[in-house]
Structures are given as structure tokens and as C-alpha cells.
Structure 1
Amino acid sequence: MSIDLALKEAMSIVGAVGVALVDYDSGMSLGTLGGGDWLDLDVAAAGNTEVVRAKLRVMSSLKLNDTIEDILITLNRQYHLIRPLSAAKGNPTLFLYLVLDREHANLALARHYLKRIEAHLTV
């Protein structure tokens, strides 16, 4: 699945407001869809790069032999879901970033769909 198709699939998730595919080495997004005046996905991508890097540093400091499945940031009206792509797919520094309207979203289903999108995404 291409980046464009993956972003479209993510935006079809009920409650989706915006989505980005981000490289956390550079902080740059490889593609975005949705967002708007109040949600600048490029700024959010750069900021969430720091979230991923911080968690990886903590895991390294704790000598955890594990990987991040996803990171959830819960706001009053939104869910922000960060899903690093599997290093096994050859993309060890990429993550999907999805913003959901909390009133309309089903978090469990959104996580399931992101996992499915990740499995079929080719970069």
C-alpha cells in the first residue's frame, strides 16, 4: 500500500481528524492528510518526534528489550495516537500519527486499523 493510500485509509477511521507519516530522525512528515487551521500536522509531526525520541531514550536507559507498539496521548476532546512502524519492515525511524475526535472515535478500533495499515504500507 502506498503512502497516499495508507493516509486515506487512516482518514476513513471513524473520528479521524488528521494523519501523518513521520520520520522521527528528521522530524519531517512524508505525507499528511486532514488537519486544518487548528491542527497543523507538520508542526504536530515535529513535536511528536520529540515524544517518540524521549520514550526511546527512557527505554534505553532502563535497558528494556522491547519495542513501542503505540503511544496514546489523551486530551479532553481528542486522542493522539502514535504508532512506530516495525523495524522489520525496513522503516525503523517512521511512525504513523493519527488525531481522533474523542466524541466520535472508537480507540480500540482505531488502534486495530492502524496496525492493519502498518502491515500493508510500503515506503
Structure 2
Amino acid sequence: MSQLDNSIQELLQIEGATGAALVDISSGMALASSGNPGFDLTVAAAGNSNVVRAKLKTMNDLGLDQKIEDIMITLGNQYHLINVLNTTETSGLFVYIVLDRNTANLALARHKLNAISSRISL
């Protein structure tokens, strides 16, 4: 099993996690993904790359010279967390995780997501 697949499996061990993917921002292609969040994860990965690109463009337009850490989307029964990777090796990628809102602890999930994301390498 590849290091990326191991990272995805580790993400899925977060309480409440139903799906996870490592996504290329520019193409929207999932480099690795797994889980069953109740929708097509590859379509969600591509769509969320549009969200990240739009936010990066807006930040550039505003002259904000900072890095995105996280983007959170809350739905009635799910949390969608996007963690933008900012190391030299992983620049241009983000981690996308879907959490069941009824069973996940959002603070703990974000903490674990950040820890796992910091160890991802290509």
C-alpha cells in the first residue's frame, strides 16, 4: 500500500469520517481517495478544487500574502473539511475529508486532520 493510501486510511480512522481524498488543486484530480460518504468522492474532489482556486484568487485580488490552512463547509448532517497543504513538496494539493456531523467531534477531527496532513509526502 502506498504512503498516500496509508494517509487516506489514517484519515478514515478519525471518528465520524466517511470519506477522504488527496486532491490536486489545479486539475481537481484525486490522487488517492477512499470511503463512502454517500456521494461520488471524485466529483466532490473536483468541485472542491474550484472552491480552493476561487479562494486563492480572491486572496490574491485582495493582496493577502498568507496561506490557506483550512476551509470548512457545514451541511445539515456533514462537515466537509479542506486542509490545504503548504510544504514545498505538497504545494498545490489539499486533503478533503467528509465527517458525519452526528458522530464527529469537530475540534478533535481538525486536530487529527492537521497532524496527518503534516506528515503527507509524495
TM-score (norm 1): 0.94
1:27 aligns with 2:28: yes
Question: Contact 2:90–2:121 (CA<8 Å) still a contact in 1?
Answer: no
Matches within 5 A, 1:76-115: 76-86=76-86, 88-115=87-114
Distance 1:67 1:85 in 2: 9
1:91 CA drift (Å) = 1.6
Distance 2:62 2:71 in 1: 18
SS at match of 1:104: coil
1:47 aligns with 2:47: yes
Distance 2:44 2:36 in 1: 10
Distance 1:90 1:47 in 2: 23
Distance 1:93 1:19 in 2: 17
SS at match of 1:122: coil
Distance 2:28 2:4 in 1: 17
Question: Contact 2:89–2:121 (CA<8 Å) still a contact in 1?
Answer: no
Give 5+ residue unaligned stretches, structure 1.
none
Instruction: Give 1:71's aligned residue.
Output: 71
1:121 CA drift (Å) = 1.2
Distance 2:65 2:6 in 1: 33
Give 5+ residue unaligned stretches, structure 2.
none
The RMSD of aligned alpha carbons is: 1.2
Instruction: Give 1:7's aligned residue.
Output: 8
Distance 1:118 1:15 in 2: 17
Distance 2:95 2:108 in 1: 15
Aligned residues: 121
1:90 CA drift (Å) = 1.6
